[in-house]
Amino acid sequence: MTEHQRGQVVWWRSIWGSLFGRLGVILFCGLAAAHALTLFWVFFERGQLGRSMMLSYMGRDIAASVAILDRVPPAERAAWLPRIERQDYRYILAAPTSVQTPAQHEESDLARVVRQSVTAVVGVSRVGSQASVQAHKSGERIEMGLLLEDGSPVTLQWDRPHMRISTATASFLSLQLLMLGLVTWLAVRAAVRPLKRLADAADGLDLNRSAPALSETGPAEVARAAHAFNAMRARIADHLAERLRILAAVSHDLQTPITRMRLRVEMLDSGPVRDKLQSDLTDLQALVEDGVAYARSAQANSETPRAADINALLDALVCDYVDAGHAVHLAGVAPVPWQVRPLALKRLVTNLLDNAVKFAGGAELVIEQLQPDTLDIVVCDNGPGIAEAELQAVMQPFYRVESSRNRESGGAGLGLAIAQELAGALDASLSLSNRPSGGLEARLRLSRVGMG
């Protein structure tokens, strides 16, 4: 199979593989076939009618020509031949020269009409021999032998006409096919567009971002599907909101008994038991605080977006880490201003920097603008990184990479989950990847369109 043939196969599969393509091909081919059958029948009926009228006219005209040649002196008959000649048939003062063939339908009809017409005019049949067919450069020619009153032979030569489509008719048919294709495209598009909107809404389902409800207009089946989708989305959102409320309530309520337990531990005598209890309470307190922070991240959507100086925001953040003795550096410049939720952005970058500082000892914060409508904020570290198979899983709540980022080294598996929630509130995307030189890269991509 050649490269061109493979390209055609791929193109056809791309067309036939979509519902839009299938409906379009089936509908267009069906309508085009019905249209072609209608045109064929119209042309056939017109051809039959035209043939009948033509044979009737030819019969009368040939009978009149034979009557004229009967009354013209033999010496003057050759001069009269151009006068009685027509566009498609002419006369020769000689017997037919072509080989006789069995009379076909059209030739037998011609012979019958000529015989009837000549008999009606001159009173006797003058058809001398059966019609025959011979080929010539312009098509087929029918020859018919005739006899004059004095017995002289005359040959009628008729160039069989062919049905031809005029330029105007071809242009009109092309216009009809074009209109048929356009109507097919509009009809299929109108039928498939609601399904495409439903598929796009399902693909883009993100309960962390505010999105308008799917339009419930259109045909009854489509409206019902859209209504069911909106109801499902609302139920999922309610379920997640309830889960976050439970997490926030439990985390908040645990703070009081933890505080009481800490006070009681302080009253114990110094020793290994007291130190272990204090360590356990510290871990438990950190876990509760992470739970509260995760619950709060779902409320980031309530912050009003506004134009902010991202350079100043990130520079202040890096200075705080440097003052605390951490190796954090800032590179790159962001365009000013940028529409964003500043508090959510600050919390998100803080989580990423905390993660890098905790597990790699430092971080590099890079601002990149690869496209006019997007801004990338990249946090890079030189730590152990994360296995490729776990890069997506670490975004889930309470997921920990046991080999390197476990609870003993700090963290309850909520840091990156909180960052993912905040990214949704910013209409941004957060992705993790391992650096070729070692370490982890967290890339936050902000969109100007999303916050605009």
pLDDT of res. 315: 92
Q: Name, in order, each residue with C-beta under 8 angstroms of 422's C-beta and a sequence gap of 6 or more.
A: 297, 300, 344, 345, 347, 348, 351
Q: Name, in order, each residue with C-beta under 8 angstroms of 447's C-beta and a sequence gap of 6 or more.
A: 373, 374, 427, 428
Tokens 């204090």 found at: 278
CA distance 381 to 364: 6
Enter the tokens of residue 1: 């199979």
CA distance 340 to 343: 9
pLDDT of res. 17: 64
- Asked if 373 contacts 449 with a C-beta cutoff of 8 angstroms, the reply is yes
First to last CA, the chain: 50
> Can you spell out the DSSP letters for 346-393?
HHHHHHHHHHHHHHHSEEEEEEEEEETTEEEEEEE--S----GGGTTG
Each residue's pLDDT, cut to its tens digit, for the chain (452 residues) gives: 676 666 666 666 666 666 667 777 788 888 888 878 888 888 778 777 777 777 788 888 888 888 888 888 988 888 898 988 888 888 888 887 755 554 444 456 777 787 788 787 777 677 765 556 555 555 577 788 888 888 888 888 887 766 666 788 778 888 888 888 888 888 887 777 777 777 777 776 665 555 677 777 777 777 788 888 888 888 887 777 777 677 677 777 787 888 888 888 888 878 888 888 888 888 777 777 766 666 666 556 667 888 888 999 999 999 999 998 999 999 998 887 888 888 888 888 998 998 888 888 889 999 998 888 889 999 999 888 888 888 887 777 666 665 444 444 445 566 787 788 788 878 888 889 998 888 899 999 998 765 55
pLDDT of res. 250: 75
- Asked if 340 contacts 346 with a C-beta cutoff of 8 angstroms, the reply is no
* Ramachandran quadrant class, 206 (left: phi over 0; alpha: psi -120 to 50; beta: rest): beta
CA atoms within 13 A on the CB side of 94: 5
CA distance 160 to 89: 9
Enter the tokens of residue 342: 């500043």
DSSP-derived pairing of the beta strands 362-371 and 327-331: parallel
Q: From 398, 183, 180, 202, select the one nearest 287 (Cα to Cα).
A: 398
Tokens 């076909």 found at: 104
pLDDT of res. 43: 77
Q: For residue range 363-389, list pLDDT tens digits in order.
A: 999 999 888 888 999 999 988 888 888
The pTM assigned to this predicted structure is 0.48
pLDDT of res. 103: 46
pLDDT of res. 398: 63
